[in-house]
Amino acid sequence: MNSCTAETQRALRGALNGFGERIERIVRIDIRSIRSQKSVDSFFPLRLYAVLMALSLAVTILAALPVHGPTYMDADYYLFTAQRLRRGFGFTENILWNYLDDPVGLPHPSHTYWMPLPSLLAALGLWLFGDSFRAAQLPFILLTAFLPPVSYRLSRALGGEQRHAWAAGLFTVFSGFYVAFWAMPDAFAAYALAGSLSLIALGQGWARRGQRWFFLAGLGAGFGHLARADGLLLLLTGLGVIAWKSIHRGDTEGAENHRDKDNSFAAGLVLLLGYLLVMAPWFYRNWVVIGAVLPGAGLQTLFLRDYDELFSYSLPLTLERYLDWGLGPILASKLWAARLNLMTFVGPNNLIFLTPFTLIGLWRLRREPLMRPALLYGVLLYAAMTLAFTFPGVRGGLLHSSVALLPFFFAAAPMGLEAAVRWVARRRRGWHVQQAMRVFTAGFVVLAAVLSLALTVRTMQGEHWIGGSGEVYRQIGAWLSAQGLEEAVVMVNNPPGFALRTGHPAIVVPDGDVDTLLAVADRYGATVLVLDANRPGPLAGLYAGTEAHPRLIQQVELDGAQVYRIVSGEGANGGH
């Protein structure tokens, strides 16, 4: 970029000091020269932040109102475990939704796969406002309201004009696919806020060499990890940033080189200190309960050949078995994941139409200290969710963890748009850059709002979004009570959802045949089976009525869900 002229710099200073006066001349600005001005560092438009927060609250609440309960298993799990926390059961669960850690029985230690922060936030809402779904939603709605100001402030810190910052904030308000999910008791809001603030603090530490920024980045990484297991990538990003700084300063000699190495070592220590202040209590709990700082069951998902194997029983998810799959299928799975993860970047992450402008903006900002940690995190995340945790990444892992990048994408997109407009204007006479930018920026914000509305309505028209399986589970629970089976352990597709709505202990239908199902039922004491359309493939014949088993006696069918009594092995043998 060209350096700003003295006249332009004076105009920019006047605009920034005016806290809202529009910059009339659109110029190619030198980001470093703007960011170095004290007026930018002191720029803290509380009224603008309040407006963005109010808009975010309004949009999130409107999207939340038609929904009266969790609508997918993750949210079911977090609300279910939050209720148990509030009722004094601690971090335990009377459900099993996977068998990766070869559980002994019920109750079982909770959060050995998913992390506890969403449950803690939902429990906080329940403690403060009563035992209701709306109370559990409140902490997530409030956290979401802070995201648009983060995007606004980040845009300004990156050198964006007020128009760019407003667009970044409004893109975050109208965030497309995510609008329907922000208020859910899930990791979206918490991880977006903790992750983005951690990355911003890393950028500040890179630019300013201030150890306090690395401490704050460590705190953010800790809360990010407490929200999601792959939040550990935030800590790895921080260590990578510090290592990068140390290596690229290593060509200096003498006292300066030693000082830089000491600074890097200190930065690493304070980063870890901030991280451990958040995570150490959870590590201690894990050590006491399961004998390890971090559960190892989740690492088995590295060796899945198919997502449904996550729900398998006694299947050896090992490297040896994975390699026996063959090089062709392994490569095909990675290419499949790369394609779908690219669609996540284009669609949910960038509202489709922002994608080219986000890429242009990221390229132009690639050398900015505030942007570099986000770029490193993005590379690590997309690589991990494509090459390592292939199937969990495609089935929601990337969708969740990429929310930490939304403020960076939405800050980059308006700058990329302006670069594109200027490129076209230099090649077409008659283009008025100021007018074009106003039209395109306003039009894109309106398009984001319309797209968000359309996607939210479409999501809520899904089979399980409003009512859905929740109502069926309540009907089954009432039927079980009428049969005197209030304490029965139920085998079902969605154990946390069933337990949440009925109070029954529940275990997941394993990915396998009838013999596998019965082995699991015998081990964990299940006496009732619920099969619905989302049953494992090997049970298709049983669900269709073309196959039968003497130990599985169908009792009733409610709205497509078949309820079976599981006869004990002795009872079945006696019947013959």
Cα separation, 372 vs 375, in Å, equals: 5
| Contact predicate 526/520, CB 8 Å | yes
b/e map of 63-92 (b: 16 or more CB within 10 Å)? bbeebebbbbbbbbbbbbbbbbbbeeeebe
Tokens 């899904």 label which residue? 462
Q: Show the low-confidence residues of the chain (pLDDT under 50).
A: 1-43, 252, 254-255, 574-576
Please list, in sequence order, all residues whose beta carbon lies within 8 angstroms of the beta carbon of residue 100, skipping any fewer than 6 positions away: 113, 297, 298, 300, 301, 310, 317
Q: Which amino acid is at 430?
A: G
Q: How far is CA 380 from CA 228, 238, 282, 401, 403, in A?
A: 15, 12, 24, 11, 14
Please list, in sequence order, all residues whose beta carbon lies within 8 angstroms of the beta carbon of residue 217, skipping any fewer than 6 positions away: 198, 199, 201, 202, 205, 234, 238, 271, 274
Cα separation, 298 vs 311, in Å, equals: 12
Q: What is the DSSP string of 7-74?
A: HHHHHHHHHHHTTS----S-----HHHHHTSHHHHT---HHHHHHHHHHHHHHHHHHHTT--S--SHH
Q: Which of 80, 135, 134, 137 is nearest to 110 (CA)?
A: 80
Please list, in sequence order, all residues whose beta carbon lies within 8 angstroms of the beta carbon of residue 115, skipping any fewer than 6 positions away: 187, 225, 226, 227, 228, 229, 231
Give 117-148 pLDDT, tens digit per residue: 999 999 999 999 999 999 999 999 999 999 99
Per-state percent for the chain, helix, strand, coil, to nearest 5: 65, 5, 30
Tokens 């990429």 label which residue? 402
- pLDDT value at residue 15: 38
Cα separation, 169 vs 189, in Å, equals: 15
Residue 80, beta-bridge partner list? none
The encoded tokens of residue 572 equal: 């079945």
Q: What is the DSSP string of 473-523?
A: HHHHHHHHHHTT-TT-EEEES-HHHHHHHH---EEEPPSS-HHHHHHHHHH
Phi, psi of 542 (to 5 degrees): -65, -45
Cα separation, 246 vs 242, in Å, equals: 6
DSSP conformational letter for 549:
B
The encoded tokens of residue 542 equal: 């049983």
Residues in the chain: 576
Q: Which of 266, 207, 192 is nearest to 41 (CA)?
A: 207
| Contact predicate 505/491, CB 8 Å | no
3-state SS, residue 445:
helix
The encoded tokens of residue 441 equal: 């920026």
Tokens 């201690």 label which residue? 284
| Contact predicate 91/85, CB 8 Å | yes
Q: Which amino acid is at 556?
A: V
Confirm whether pTM is higher than 0.85.
Answer: yes
CB 201: neighbour CB atoms within 10 A? Answer: 26
CB 352: neighbour CB atoms within 10 A? Answer: 14
b/e map of 298-330 (b: 16 or more CB within 10 Å)? bebbbbbbeeebbbbbebebeeeebeeeeeeee
DSSP conformational letter for 533:
T
Q: How far is CA 423 from CA 154, 363, 429, in A?
A: 24, 15, 12
Tokens 């029985």 label which residue? 105
Q: Which amino acid is at 66?
A: P
* Paired sense of beta strands 489-492 and 526-531, if any: parallel
- pLDDT value at residue 13: 42
Cα separation, 416 vs 361, in Å, equals: 4
The encoded tokens of residue 10 equal: 């004076």
Phi, psi of 134 (to 5 degrees): -60, -40
- pLDDT value at residue 575: 43
What ranges do the domains of the chain cover? 1-43, 44-459, 469-575
3-state SS, residue 565:
strand
The encoded tokens of residue 76 equal: 């079911």
- pLDDT value at residue 576: 40
Cα separation, 183 vs 64, in Å, equals: 6
Q: Which of 408, 403, 424, 406 is nearest to 361 (CA)?
A: 408
3-state SS, residue 315:
coil
